[in-house]
Amino acid sequence: MIKDTQITERIKLQFRAEVFNLTNKVNLGLVNDTFAPGPDGRNASAAFGTVNSSRDARVGQLALKLYF
């Protein structure tokens, strides 16, 4: 959202509110794709195919900008 306020003829103040990931949806990181073959040729890695991280949750910021 942006709100512009005219202070004088040449000066304007802008208020800005920004929100990222407003719905707080989970953004998962990359899947662990490290394959470690065991003695029988099957995968021996217990972490294979798991997701262990996520990106930032909801973030909001406010800003003021003065135009002159």
The Cα 37–Cα 35 span in angstroms is 6
Q: How many domains does the chain have?
A: 1
**What is the domain range of residue 14?**
1-23+32-68
**DSSP letter at 22?**
T
pLDDT by residue for the chain (68 residues), tens digit each? 999 999 999 999 999 999 988 888 888 889 888 888 888 888 888 888 888 888 888 889 999 999 99
Q: 40: number of CA atoms within 13 Å, CB side?
A: 4
pTM: 0.53
